[in-house]
Chain A
Amino acid sequence: MATAKTVPLQLRYLAHARSGDKGNTANVGLIALEPEWYDLLRKAVTVARVRRHFRGMVSRVDRYELPNLSALNFLLHDALDGGGTISLKTDAQGKVYSTALLRMEVPVPVAVARKARKGAR
């Protein structure tokens, strides 16, 4: 099977996101900028990769798929220093974990990377 050549690309070019909190857990909803990129995200943004990306910052990671919204939902456990009013963090409610996930690089086909970078301008 021939595999297309891939390049690493930050998720910010492929997706937008919003995050919030439930107690000491942050959630990040990752939404494909183009519906056709959802499948790529589903394959590339795995629990293992996200856990590695956030190592030392969160304990467990859960992932849920929402193909109807071209979105993935991640739960980042123990991410908020106790969360709510207990937390001493600036971002006690996990509001900007969204863009922290968008820093992550995933391998994408060259053609997709080209289109995604162009869209960002």
Chain B
Amino acid sequence: MSGGKVVRIAGGQGFWGDWLEAPVRQVQGGPIDYLMMDYLAEVTMSIMQKQRSRNPHAGYARDFVPLMERILPDIVKKGIRVTSNAGGVNPRGCAEAVLDSARKLGLGGKLKVGLVTGDDLLPDLDELIAAGHEMRDMETGRPLSDIRDRVLSANAYLGMQPMVEALRRGAQVVITGRVTDTGLTLAPMFHEFGWDFDDWDKVAAGTVAGHIIECGAQSSGGNLLKDWRSVKGLANPGFPIVEAHEDGSFVITKHPGTGGVVSVPSVTEQLVYEMGDPHQYITPDGVADFTTIRLKRAGKDRVQVSGIRGGPRTPMLKVSIAYFYGYKAVGTLVYGWPDAHDKARAADAILRQRLKDLGLEFEQILTEYVGVDATHGRLAGPASPELPEVQLRIGVRSTDKAAVERFTREIAPLVLTGPPSVTGFAGGRPQVEEIVAYWPALIDRTAVEPGVRVEILEA
């Protein structure tokens, strides 16, 4: 890795709800060639599907449009290109909203938006099932037909290829629905270096680069456990930037003058995040072997990544399916010193007895004592009777909405009918929430890929 072309790809958002200033600072804080913004978590698509069913113009990450409005003048001037899956279940609506913003800003004729569609399988779901695509839950093995009538969204994870085509055809902003997080980084690399889609080591390298920056500042000092007190300047965290080289190696860094840290430990913590079998990190574009990654410090806030090996893509694509599962509610009360834990436990027993006496049935009743065992269970050891307070946190889950509804009315009465020194109920009754659950499945890629389309729209 010496000399030659360098392509700078900046991570701008790690999820829908990430720090809104990050993309702006990535664009203004130093040189970058691409800005990638990942918006889609596993059940985000179903939330968007619900929004679109109420309003045909909705169904994408709404924050993306005002954000683009802030950065469009800069990115047009500097020639920075954007890849994002902000399109959700309505990438066309998202693309049109961005084009409207561009026109408002006087950028008419100066912006091409690439639109990738074809990931949405919902309209064809019955046909696909009838054709023998069972789409079994990868965790439980159940066929999709078991829950067909409750399916809210179904989207195949597309890889980088349609995004590379959009870039090749001149798109400055590429907007997609359900593409992989890693594809948003892979596409700029493959477009710039002209790598072959079957060059598996390059696919693996780009996949690792994408994995490192897809969670925003989580690779540059955010949520870093090692020596966390030594991480400075997180009021203005530098989001990660990939400096990609033609040989497939790359450097992870961040803009000068920003907070956080890019170090071998910060990158390593992100590499192991949400990891399964490290030998087989499977994406639609290929399979990366995380046991081949070599990390080396390459100066202040610079980590060099090299040596990555990979293997061929599989014949299957992952499908992200969301379905209606049932209802849940979580209620909390705070018990004070002394013997706060004992008081909270007594309240829990009373509540459970009342639910039982009412004949209510739940799939699950889960009690946690925040301050004692909520995150580490019994590993946290016994609670001291001197604890200043303990929060009782009780959740229920059921397909019976009425049962969950009644549960929400059983929390407040404990204040006057249960153990003493209780407070923290000012928020009122807990909300009944609909549970939209996630059904991960696989589908033959030949059933999806012929329907993938790339269009170029102009402001």
Footprint of B on A, CB under 8 Å? 16-24, 27, 29, 31, 33, 53-54, 56-57, 64-71, 73, 75, 81-82, 84-86, 88-91, 96, 98-100, 103
Contacts and interface: CB of A to CB of B under 8 A. Distances in A.
Nearest to B42: A84
Nearest to B218: A18
Contacts, number: 124
Contact of B274 (A22, A64, A81): A22
Contacts of B274: 20-22, 27
A121 to B, nearest CB: 11
A69 B379 contact: no
A68 B291 contact: yes
Interface stretch (B92-100, B254-262, B430-438): B430-438
Nearest to B138: A23
B276 A23 contact: no
21 contacts: A22-B274, A23-B139, A27-B274, A29-B271, A31-B272, A53-B379, A57-B378, A64-B279, A68-B294, A69-B271, A69-B272, A70-B268, A71-B268, A73-B276, A85-B435, A86-B325, A88-B328, A88-B366, A88-B396, A99-B376, A100-B377
Nearest to B391: A90
Contact of B395 (A57, A75, A88): A88
The winner among A24, A33, A65, A89 for most chain B CB atoms within 10 A is: A89
B311 to A, nearest CB: 17
Contact of A67 (B43, B265, B291, B397): B291
Grouping DSSP codes into helix (H, G, I), strand (E, B) and loop, the A interface class, with mixed when no group exceeds half, is mixed
A28 to B, nearest CB: 8
Contacts of B291: 65-68
Nearest to A57: B377
B265 A16 contact: yes
A32 B278 CA distance: 17
Contacts of A69: 268, 271-272, 290, 293, 295
A57 to B, nearest CB: 5
A31 B42 contact: no
B440 A23 contact: yes
Nearest to A91: B375
Nearest to A31: B268
A22 B375 contact: no
A19 to B, nearest CB: 8
B370 interface: yes
B375 A98 contact: no
A36 to B, nearest CB: 15
A73 to B, nearest CB: 5
Interface string B211-234: 000000000000101100000000
A66 B276 CA distance: 12
Nearest to A102: B225
A99 B269 CA distance: 13
